[in-house]
Amino acid sequence: MSNTPGLTERESEAPDVGELTPPDRTLMGPGPSDVHPRVLKAMSTPLVGHLDPSFVEIMDEVQELLRYTFRTDNQWTIPVSGTGSASMEAAIGNLVEPGDTMLVPTNGYFGGRMKSMAERAGGEVVEVDAPWGEPLDPVDVEAAFDEHQPDVFGFVHAETSTGVLQPNVPELTDIAHEHDAYVIADCVTSLGGVELRVDEWDIDVAYSGPQKCLSCPPGASPLTLNDRAMDKVLGREEQPRSWYLDLSLLEGYWGDDRSYHHTAPITNVYAIREALRLVAEEGIEERWARHRAVAGDLKAGLQELGLEMNAPDEYWLPSLNAVQVPDGVDDGAVIDYLLEEYDLEIASGLGDLEGDIWRIGCMGYSARPKNVEYVLSALEDALAEQGF
């Protein structure tokens, strides 16, 4: 028996856990993507304090690099401490006040998440409808504004669940601003991978995640707000329901004062700094072009295998390729085979498209010709196993 009162012998024993040896996967799913070796190296550098003068300098550099990648001059541009869902909730939970009406889309899984977050923030939610796998039609958005007069409009620029890229973004933002509404853009699968121009397209708030086209481990997630949106946040009558994600408090840490709010995920900030340095070195427009070219090769190869894309060419999202599962093929069995035989990750569909599509990412460091060749060869083998 243990000598420690109240503990059995089993409870007092230290767990016997071996060395960490995760498998070496090729990540071609909807995220995370493969991490660049330079980013991993940055994460192994020494820690400093989150108020250390050297770290404050790093914070400034990260903000400037984020502005470049978002194509914005917004002062209020930061990496939120947390995953992409944290930057999403920071955007919605701060901009949507109790009693506000938010217009959200129905054409994918993440429009539904917008709805849930807006309701938790005390907002009333109305919807603009579009089928899963199609973008929003500006005519329908205009009609929804005329009917509901929302205070905030959210849309998904690159819908991870369907592989659809929303066109005509400036047209959507024009409609919203003509009705004096604020625009929140979900850029989780577009930032650093496909064309995104926050200032030129007149987007008030945009958020993203680091683990997709930036090829950075999750933990510090991009967010940007223009002055108009931040004025609304700072002028709220009621505090946001989250203390941790309250931008009026985070402003004190990421703004000029650098006053303590929370302990930042220092290693993750190192990581996103290096990932954003890679973006700047490549050039943002060149990076967009690389994603389109490499994903174009992937798309052509999939079609040569007899597979069909879920999204029409005009809405195709290079960073996330949604591929229809052929009749008679078990989507889960193919995913399992690729993982077991090739250490290769792709994913199934979400929500309305679960079981109907595969989602194959082509993002950041994963968007390389050798990865495309690998996934096409492995997928051909996996399909042959099922007689396709």
pLDDT for 2 beyond 60: no
- The percentage of residues in the chain with a pLDDT greater than 90, rounded to a whole number, is 93
Q: Which of 144, 131, 195 is nearest to 172 (CA)?
A: 144
pLDDT for 20 beyond 70: yes
pLDDT of residue 338: 98
Q: Which two tokens stand for residue 287?
A: 């990076």
pLDDT of residue 257: 86
Instruction: Please provide the average confidence, as pLDDT, over all residues in the chain.
Output: 96
| Calpha distance 322→13 (Å, rounded) | 48
Mean pLDDT, range 260-276, rounded to an integer: 96
Each residue's pLDDT tens digit, 199-258:
999 999 999 999 999 999 999 999 999 999 999 999 999 999 999 999 999 988 998 888
The SS3 assignment for 309 reads strand
CB 334 within 8 A of CB 383: yes
pLDDT for 339 beyond 80: yes
Mean pLDDT, range 144-148, rounded to an integer: 98
Alpha helices in the chain (DSSP H): 9-12, 37-43, 53-70, 84-95, 109-120, 138-148, 169-178, 227-234, 247-254, 266-282, 284-304, 331-342, 369-385
pLDDT of residue 6: 64
Each residue's pLDDT tens digit, 300-336:
999 999 999 999 999 999 999 999 999 999 999 999 9
CB 79 within 8 A of CB 191: no
Burial class of residue 35 (count of CB atoms within 10 Å of its CB; 0-12, 13-18, 19+): buried
CB 179 within 8 A of CB 128: no
pLDDT for 5 beyond 80: no
Mean pLDDT, range 20-33, rounded to an integer: 96
CA distances to 187, 200, 283, 365 from 174, in Å: 18, 12, 28, 34
pLDDT of residue 169: 98
Mean pLDDT, range 48-74, rounded to an integer: 96
pLDDT for 1 beyond 60: no
pLDDT for 179 beyond 80: yes
| Calpha distance 54→387 (Å, rounded) | 59
pLDDT of residue 8: 65
Locus of tokens 């996103």: 272
CB 164 within 8 A of CB 108: yes
Q: What domains can be seen in the chain, in order of their start residue?
A: 26-32+284-385 (3.90.1150.10), 37-281 (3.40.640.10)
CB 48 within 8 A of CB 225: no
Mean pLDDT, range 267-290, rounded to an integer: 98
Each residue's pLDDT tens digit, 350-372:
999 999 999 999 999 999 999 99
pLDDT of residue 190: 98
Each residue's pLDDT tens digit, 99-139:
999 999 999 999 999 999 999 999 999 999 999 999 999 99
